[in-house]
Chain A
Amino acid sequence: MKREEILNAVKAYHSAAFPAKPFNREKDTVRYAGRVFDEKELVALVDSSLDFWLTEGRYAESFSEKIADFLGVDNVILTNSGSSSNLLALSALTSKKLGKKRLVPGDEVITVAAGFPATVTPILQNGLIPVFVDVSLPTYNIDVEALKKAVSPKTRAIFIAHTLGNPFDLDAVMKVVKEHDLWLIEDNCDAFGSLYKGKYTGTFGHIATISFYPAPHITTGEGGAVVTNNEQLAQIVRSFRDWGRDCYCGGGENNTCGKRFTQQFGTLPAGYDHKYVYSEIGYNLKMTDMQAAIGSAQMDKLEMFGNRRRENFRRYQRIFSAYEKYFILTEATPGAEPSWFTYVLSVRENAPFTRNELVTFLNERRIETRNIFAGNILRQPAFIDRPCRVEGKLPVTDFIMNNTFFLGTFPGMTEEMFAYVEDCVAEFMGKHLK
């Protein structure tokens, strides 16, 4: 049987197995996120499996190139998740290869408590001290005045996310980075395709991360990437990703440096095989070629997905602006054009209902909602009594923990779903505003 015949059969299977279905108000769920794909992803996945190369191969090359070309960056290192990417990005900054610039245990890294644990845990896992700064409404991003106050002689890096696709104030943050000679890691996991003053997020800091989990902008199931324009950081990240090895040959390659048996490292004998020289205490966090095959096909849709997310955000904004007296509506950071991860909003404290009452009502009607991840991460069981510093107080973070939630803007949202959400919101508001 020829490969082409198999792939044609896959196309036919896709049409039969995943037909477009109208939304049924009585039984269907309005999800907050979901996989959006067509026959191209399925064909690429099967094509890759027929290669049976399995580890990074031609599809990984294609996927990396597409990301590099889209963002205009020099280096893309594919990983098995956005969280792994965060771990790699921060761990890379501890490498001895960076000399005096390396982070050492006890150094401080500024971050926020209103976010996802994967931005904070790598700081603790590397023996560094997270410094928590409050965030601002209505952008849900770091409060830049608090950030300026948080910098101490021990501060060496800033590691923050573009919250739910909304870029943080990059002008202000980059100014702090330059003034204090800090590292900046952009957690771009929820913002792939967002722009700040016409430039893609993930291209401002020293290093940035992307997630390809099903909820973010494109998916490979599990998967992620680290991007950087710094050649040395790229090599270090690759080393941490690949067991800490010094050699940077790709899968199936040998001696691409031409010095495999002629160098000397550590106290190893001269000429020890470079393939088995380890310069970092690393991990194995690589992506498979099957995942990359899906990602490569998804990359062709990224721009369209981003436009749909923006459109969906506007649709929600129209629904909730009718009730602005009771909700704090999200605003894009000035100068930003977010590719929204979700539609986030907060119930005002004077509203005649609570966030929990509203989300309970919506979820009972099969409209999925999510909180902003960990709320105030310092109140999570795993984070109590961990070494950290808090700059001032975190009242907005606590407000978000109590009053904020989000709905889906993913490209799978349809007009019928929006009409249903609008009706349900009107029903809830009608009950509470009598």
Chain B
Amino acid sequence: MIVKKYRSEVVSVENPIPDIRVVTLRPLEKAYKYNPGQFLHLALDEFDPARPWPESRCFSMQSSPDQDTIKITFATKGKFTERMARELAPGKVICVKLPYGDLFSSGQDEGKAVFVAGGTGITPFLSLFTSAAFAAYKEPRLYFGVRNPSHHLYSAELEKAAAVNPSFRRTLLNEEKDGRLDIQKIFTENGPAAVYFISGPPAMIRSFKARLAADGVPPGNIRTDDWE
């Protein structure tokens, strides 16, 4: 899909738990266009069309493409995200460019799909779960690990997902109480023919990917939303 630049206004900034912020943006000129699982580049400095694109960072759209606004989640982890925490406030106008990425290549992933997410890594999945396209997925499964119940910020989206696709099954793990996600157990429950989508901390992605590959899952059936 053609990458476009969108002047956007910050509609809201929520701070549900320390260091995690949820930002909602609305376009000022033209409607956003993207597919589930794609991501955007967000710049804080003013964009001059005659100059190169300013410093930016990538964030997954967690809202569905059917919606008018875009929602992203970010954790304050470095200088740029610290600036975001300081500067993003309702009414602020920024520039984003999108869409990028091809996590869910349309029409090919509607067989048995297993989604494995750690923490805010669930956000790219949410854009699929809450879009009409999710209805075509056959018995999708989600394994979602959060540090504790206060870190589970996505109940509303997951409820909506269940409404979009009634065959959607969810396993929610409270890591402080139940321990971490166990990829071996997930593999045993779903087998080598499923397509595994993994998103979360880099170490988790690396180890889960290696384990699934060792268990005979073809490389094309392991899709990761990993970032450097």
Contact = CB atoms under 8 A, between A and B. Distances in A.
A58 B4 CA distance: 11
Interface string B24-41: 000000000101000101
Nearest to B224: A259
Interface stretch (A145-153, A247-255, A387-395, A426-434): A247-255
Nearest to B35: A231
A255 B105 CA distance: 20
Interface stretch (A68-76, A304-312, A410-418): A68-76
A58 B101 CA distance: 21
Contact of A64 (B2, B100, B227): B2
A303 interface: no
B105 A74 contact: no
25 contacts: A58-B49, A61-B3, A65-B4, A74-B2, A75-B1, A75-B2, A231-B35, A231-B102, A231-B106, A232-B102, A252-B52, A252-B53, A253-B53, A256-B41, A256-B58, A256-B100, A257-B101, A258-B39, A258-B58, A258-B226, A258-B227, A259-B226, A260-B228, A261-B228, A262-B226
Nearest to A227: B2
Nearest to B60: A258
B50 interface: yes
Interface of A: 51, 58, 61, 64-65, 68, 74-76, 231-232, 234-235, 250, 252-253, 255-262
B228 A259 contact: yes
B5 interface: yes
Interface residues of B, number: 22
Contacts of B226: 258-259, 262
A381 to B, nearest CB: 41
A306 to B, nearest CB: 22
Given A61-B3, A65-B2, A231-B102, 13 more contacts: A51-B50, A58-B49, A58-B50, A64-B2, A75-B1, A76-B2, A231-B35, A235-B102, A252-B52, A252-B53, A253-B53, A258-B226, A258-B227
A231 B1 contact: yes
A257 B100 contact: yes
Would you list the 9 A-B pairs with minimal beta carbon distance, nearest first?
A258-B227, A74-B1, A58-B49, A68-B2, A258-B58, A256-B100, A252-B52, A262-B228, A64-B2
Contacts of B3: 61, 250
Contacts, number: 47
Interface in B96-130: 100-102, 105-106
A234 B106 CA distance: 13
A279 to B, nearest CB: 13
Contacts of B227: 258-259
Contacts of B5: 61
A68 B50 CA distance: 22
B30 to A, nearest CB: 8
Contacts of A255: 228
B130 to A, nearest CB: 20
Contacts of B1: 74-75, 231, 234
A76 B1 CA distance: 8
A232 B105 contact: yes
A65 B31 CA distance: 13
Contact of B105 (A68, A231, A260): A231
A250 B102 CA distance: 16
Contacts of B106: 231
Interface string B2-19: 111100000000000000
Interface string B79-109: 0000000000000000000001110011000
A31 B39 CA distance: 49
A58 to B, nearest CB: 5
A425 to B, nearest CB: 46
Nearest to A58: B49
